[in-house]
Amino acid sequence: MPKTADVRPAHGAVRGPAALLTVMVLVTLLALLPDGARAAPPQGAGELEKQDVEAWLDGMLPALLEREAIPGASVSVVHDGEVLTERGYGFADLGTDSTGPQAVPPVPVDPHTTLFRVGSISKVPVATAAMQLVERGQLELDEPIADHLDFELETRFETPITLRHLLTHTAGFEEVIRGLFPADEQSVPTLREFLVEQAPEQIDEPGSTPAYSNYGYALVGYLIEQVSGQDLHDYLRAEVLEPAGASGATYEQPLPGSVAELAARPYPSTHEDAIGFELIGPWPAGSMSASASDMSAFMLAHLDQEDSPLLAEQSLATMHSPGLGEAELGNLAAGLQMTPGFFAEDRNGHRILGHGGDILHSHAAFQIYPEEGTGVFIGLNGSGAAADSSTVLRNAVLHGFADRYYPAAEEAPQPLETSADRAATVAGQYMVSRRGQSTFIRLNSLISTVSVEADGDTLRIPAVTDSSGQPISLVETEPWVWQDEDGAHRVAVEVGQDGEVEMIGLLPAFTLLPAPGWTTPVLLGFLAALVILGVALVAWPVRAVVGWRLSAPLLLSRRDAWLRRASLVAAALALGGIALWAVVAVSLIGAGGPSGPVMIRAAQLATLLGALGVVPAAWRAIRTWAGRRWLLAVMATLITLAFVAFTVCAVAGGLLTPDLSY
């Protein structure tokens, strides 16, 4: 059985607010990379027929749901133009433990009617709708989208953004978090309002750098409205969902009337209460609710390449093929790529297209095998007891299915003779391309770097581990292209003319970019600064109270006393600013809602005033050196350097950026 792998924060990784800011990227990576350390036990090969599939699922999923503390799951498998099975496990609603007239009984998952929030899987029907308009000649994959917009989209590069760029996550947009999870129904903006008010900076040239973007797919939805002249809800229902046979699926939020009773309630875990309906700001990118039966119908519509109710054969072929080539991506085109709508993957020598979806506590994923006519879907209504619980469940089904019914027929790859030199060149620290750069979210890119290590002639990425928690080994199969033994993970590297690495294709829509050389020193300096300022903040009042003496009575002039107090206040403000940023981070990711401009401005002001502490601290250091009070001078110098390090990190991390967007 081939090894399976997963990506997770390495032991000892940054925790707390910094970790919260990385959740959006990590959740997506967890869902897209192979299995984790608590994967389901390997099982032997089976025949792809109803009885075997149901026995396999029934023998695995109930135990996994209980172990991972996830309330319910819905699964469907299609093959050769038919539904092979649709299964429901656990509960859509756990009910209440109370008795009496107010008691609510648990509601089992029904694969035919229970609606699961499928998150970013919503992008695939939207991409299908866009391809329909391309097929009808109303849109062009390679024409500028600006021609169809009724607002000006500010761009930085001369290369115009096209529909192809949007569908392949290469429009160059930075990450947008603000408005992603509205607090209530009244806070949900119209699609146009979201696109205008939350427009991100363009930080990469279109077509050059795959970087996952919810904003980009929201923009695709708006293009469909503009070109078709129809409300997007109406278009998706009439032209995509109903023709496919997925008539129960809907993008409406919250769900209307009696349909709401069919929805699986989202739970953090089975040990906690359910949360309310999960709202999405850029709704075309993530608001669809669908049953396993709906997803069966949609998968079959995409697998019917000769007589699909959605697209003509050539249009399906375009949508199922890589969206960009070597001319745009360079050597990254040799790795895993985005098609116009799907993540492409190879596993055990089989081509797979799919997409995952994650909201706060709703998770889903599906994969289709175009050549084999097979598709698999799983939806979950809980995150589980561990950070990667939903990933374990999804990968147990998706990757377990591949290994059971489409096992590897190829031998493990062998490294090239010159692999060691290239592996050494690739080793280093990298940033994920899905990043913020013009706002305070930039700090996330500095904190959440990804390490790539050379181990002789192989590469290892510590965040990508096998079922035992050990980093997988990637073998170079052709120059600058590495893969694991089952081919599920293929990493292509783009190298510039100077021989330096420019990009690593980690996943179809997630690229690794070399981290600046100053990143680690700045972060270490920042951590040291927090320690020094914290110690100073405690030591100064303690000394004043207990009358601690260093080498001589501490007789300060009025000016020295003022400088000392100013430095003390600045240190308190610096640490307070970091605490406020932690609150902002928790509210953005942990609670899923915005902090509001007041909290962000307060954090920025405290950070700025803390950074200005370098002035009195430096002045005091100069005066103590001039006064030949050597020990005090050394301490004052350390405090000054701490303020300098704090200021450098605040500037580098965007914490002093005046823009309130994020």
Q: What is the pLDDT of residues 257-268, one digit of tens each?
A: 889 999 999 999
In contact, 511 and 211? CB cutoff 8 Å: yes
Once rounded to an integer, what is the mean pLDDT over residues 124-144?
A: 98
- Residue 13 or residue 376, greater confidence: 376
Mean pLDDT, range 27-47, rounded to an integer: 54
Cβ contact 278:362 at 8 Å: yes
Q: How many CB atoms sit inside 10 A of residue 192's CB?
A: 15
Choose among 292, 314, 208, 287: nearest CA to 248.
292
Q: Which residue has the tokens 């990637």?
A: 474
Instruction: Provide the Cα torsion 553, 554, 559, 561; round to 10°.
Output: -150
- Determine the pLDDT at residue 33: 52
Q: At what angle do helices 23-32 and 389-405 cross, to 10 degrees?
A: 20
Both structure tokens of 232:
């997007």
The string over 43-72, giving b where at least 16 C-beta atoms fall within 10 Å of a residue's C-beta and e elsewhere, is: eeeeebeeebbbebbeebbeebbebbbbbb
Q: Give, for 199, the enclosing helix (H) or strand (E).
A: none
Name the residue with higher pLDDT: 5 or 106: 106
Q: How many CB atoms lie within 10 A of CB 411?
A: 7
Same domain, 382 and 524: no
Domain count of the fold of the chain: 2
Let me know whether 526 and 401 are in one domain.
no
pLDDT in tens, 587-626: 776 544 455 678 888 999 999 999 999 999 999 889 888 8
- State how far the alpha carbon of 71 is from the alpha carbons of 27, 90, 93, 321, in Å: 19, 6, 8, 36
CATH number at residue 296: 3.40.710.10
Task: List the domain range (segments joined by +) for residue 571.
Answer: 519-652
Task: Decide: helix, strand or coil at residue 112.
Answer: coil
So what's the pLDDT on residue 323?
96
Backbone angles phi, psi at 45, to 5 degrees: -65, 150
Of 182, 71, 74, the residue nearest 118 (C-alpha): 74
Distance CA 578, CA 335 (A): 40
For 236, counting Cβ atoms within 10 Å of its Cβ (0-12 exposed, 13-18 middle, 19+ buried), the class is: buried
Grouping H, G, I as helix, E, B as strand and the rest as coil, residue 204 is: coil
Residue among 361, 264, 273 nearest 97 (CA): 273
Is 173 part of a structural domain of the chain?
Answer: yes
Is the pLDDT at 510 greater than 70? The verdict is: yes
Question: For residue 375, is pLDDT > 90?
Answer: yes
Question: Given 405, 420, 445, which residue is the final one in a domain?
Answer: 405
pLDDT tens figures, 618-638: 998 898 888 878 888 888 899
How far apart are the C-alpha atoms of 472 and 489, rounded to whole Å?
10
Assigned domain for 489 exists? no
Q: Are 324 and 390 in contact (CB under 8 A)?
A: no
C-alpha R_g of the chain: 27
Q: Each residue of 77-114: pLDDT tens digit?
A: 999 999 999 999 999 999 987 666 667 889 999 999 99
Q: For residue 493, is it within any domain?
A: no
Q: Identify the pLDDT of residue 383.
A: 95
pLDDT tens column, 189-223 = 999 999 999 999 999 999 999 999 999 999 999 99
Q: Is residue 421 part of a domain?
A: no
Residue 463 domain flag: no
Q: Which residues pair with 208 in a beta bridge?
A: none
The answer for residues whose C-beta is within 8 angstroms of residue 330's C-beta and 6 or more apart is: 494, 502, 503
> What mean pLDDT is predicted for residues 115-137?
98
- Would you say residue 401 lies in a domain? yes
Residue 550 burial (CB count, 10 A): 12
Q: What is the pLDDT of the chain when averaged over all its residues?
A: 87
Average pLDDT over residues 509-532: 90
Q: Are residues 81 and 217 in the same domain?
A: yes
Same domain, 389 and 530: no
Per the domain annotation, does 446 fall within a domain? no
Instruction: Give the model's pLDDT for residue 23.
Output: 44
Determine contact, residues 443/654, Cβ cutoff 8 Å: yes
CB 241 within 8 A of CB 247: yes
Per-residue pLDDT reduced to its tens digit, 398-425? 999 999 999 887 666 677 777 889 999 9
Residue where one domain finishes, among candidates 344, 376, 405: 405
Helices 630-652, 519-546: axis angle to 10 degrees equals 140
Report how far residue 254's alpha carbon sits from residue 237's, in angstroms, rounded to the nearest whole number: 16
Name the domain boundary from 405, 438, 455.
405
**Same domain, yes or no: 99 and 222:** yes
pLDDT bucket at 564, cuts 50 / 70 / 90 = confident
**Contact (CB, 8 A) for 485 and 475:** yes
Q: Is the pLDDT of residue 9 over 70?
A: no
Residue 501 domain-assigned? no
Q: With bands split at pLDDT 50, 70 and 90, how would you rate the model's confidence at 543?
A: low
Of residues 570, 495, 558, the one with CA closest to residue 532: 570
